[in-house]
Chain A
Amino acid sequence: MNAATLFGLSGAALVGIGLYGLVTNPEPLRKILAFNLLGSGVFLVFGVVSRRAAASGLGGDPVPQAMVITAIVVAFAATAMAIALVLRLLQETGRPTLSADNSGGTDTVRGNS
């Protein structure tokens, strides 16, 4: 197994880990973090696509690399927007959570199902 495949597999694992965190963690900030993890896994897989397509004396195909750079910037812009939304939610409601079913956290253990 070469290095590119190894990083590709870890990218695939990161997608799974990030998606799991996105679905199971109820805190919005942790969801944003998990979403970034998921995104970086996708970028890593794309980076492996670039590395494998190395030709003409380059270490990798520059087109996917340029697209990943653009993607990182757009992901950051979306993250900044999402964090601002969470903080505004906190200002409005006093709680950094999206659940509508209880108003003050009196029930401590509840399923989401």
Chain B
Amino acid sequence: MTILSVFDIGLVVLILGIGASTIAVREAFAAVIGFVVYGLLLSIAWVRLSAVDVALTEAAIGGGMTGMLMLGAVARLRLAKGNDIRTSLPVRFATGVLCSLITAGLVAAILSPPEPIPTLAPMVMENLAQSGLGNPVAGVLFVYRALDTLLEKVVLILALLGVWSLAPDSVWGGIPGLRLYAQSNSTLTFLAQLLPPVGIVVAIYMCWVGAKEPGGAFQGGTVLAAMWLLAMIAGLERVPSISQPWLRRLLVVGPVIFLAIGLAGMVLANAFLAYPPGYAKPLIVAVEVALTLSIGVALGLLAAGPPERVQQP
């Protein structure tokens, strides 16, 4: 047994143990902390599966953003008294049996892979050079399946609209109810002053390098969102009201530019979301830059939640 396989087994044990504990523990707070750790461990598993792009996304979203959203929700729900309904033992037992059956079915599928294993990797690599990109995952995201990527950004905006529309009418267009911890001289204030310059540079780097190496608009946008949230929570940056015109423009600039280039492709390259030969890489980088900004703003606002108070005049 090599060191790596020992590492893998340990990692799987940790992932399953912490994953199960997020279900088993009684305290919602402990479950959410477990989920954040779980997300980070899972991103190591993705590295072991040679999917570094996915690992970055999982660490940023699965561990970071989802964890932050849930911690915020736990803090609010803690004050409320839930009614302590427990699921009865026979129901739990029956559910356990059925869930094990589903797991067993998946295990059977994993242990009997098809022969030969279907793969699209050769087709991706064959035509990647034409796009000027070096990262095959970015190639799939922005060239072969660009429509998926475009619609994914639209989903983010739709989710944000959904979250906003949950606000009562009286505070529509107001300020999101992000919890602030503005205390001068605290560690949080110090970190919120120290980290954003570094984080913004990292975000720009991730966005730029995404064409050649693992990284890209989404990962960069998440780092931007995290820095923005950090500055807002520490009270260094005001939480903007959602009716600000600049905010709405930043939200849609990425998808709009993506869509515009896609429509231009219909004229210049004979297909929607096709790039004219020779211009693929500059166009993709332009789309990525705009998307990074839009994703950063959308994620930050999703984490900040629906508006809860009106702007002071």
Contacts and interface: CB of A to CB of B under 8 A. Distances in A.
Interface of A: 3-21, 23-27, 29-30, 32-34, 36-37, 40, 43-45, 47-48, 50-63, 65-70, 72-74, 76-81, 83-88, 90, 94-97, 99, 102, 104-105, 107-113
B166 A84 contact: yes
B77 to A, nearest CB: 5
B102 A86 contact: no
A89 to B, nearest CB: 10
8 contacts: A7-B48, A12-B103, A33-B32, A51-B50, A56-B122, A56-B125, A69-B53, A95-B81
B159 A81 contact: yes
Contacts of B69: 79-80, 83
A76 B67 CA distance: 10
B141 A66 contact: yes
A95 B163 CA distance: 19
B305 A95 contact: no
A29 to B, nearest CB: 6
B54 A68 contact: yes
Interface residues of B, number: 94
Given A60-B51, A79-B66, A52 B113 contact: yes
Interface string B149-170: 1001001101110110010000
Contacts of B70: 29, 32-33, 83
Interface of B: 4-5, 8-9, 12, 15-16, 19-20, 22-23, 28, 31-32, 35, 38-39, 42, 45-46, 48-51, 53-54, 57-58, 61-62, 65-66, 69-70, 72-74, 76-77, 80-88, 90-92, 95-96, 99-100, 102-103, 106-107, 110-111, 113, 117-122, 124-125, 136-137, 139-141, 144-145, 148-149, 152, 155-156, 158-160, 162-163, 166, 218, 299, 302-303, 305-306
A50 B155 CA distance: 25
A72 B58 contact: yes
B166 A88 contact: yes
Contact of B162 (A12, A84, A90): A84
A51 B51 CA distance: 8
| For the complex of A and B, 5 pairs with smallest distance between CB atoms | A59-B50, A105-B83, A111-B88, A16-B103, A53-B119
A85 B166 contact: yes
Nearest to B88: A111
A27 B28 contact: yes
B204 to A, nearest CB: 20
B121 A56 contact: yes
B80 A76 contact: no
A11 B106 contact: yes
Given A19-B99, A29-B74, A84-B163, A74 B48 contact: no
A11 B54 CA distance: 15
A103 B39 CA distance: 36
Given A65-B54, A112-B91, 10 more contacts: A19-B102, A20-B96, A25-B87, A30-B28, A34-B22, A54-B121, A61-B120, A62-B120, A66-B148, A110-B86
B177 to A, nearest CB: 9
A64 to B, nearest CB: 8
Given A48-B110, A81-B163, A55 B80 contact: no
Contacts of A74: 152, 155
Contacts of B149: 70
Given A6-B9, A25-B87, A53 B121 contact: yes
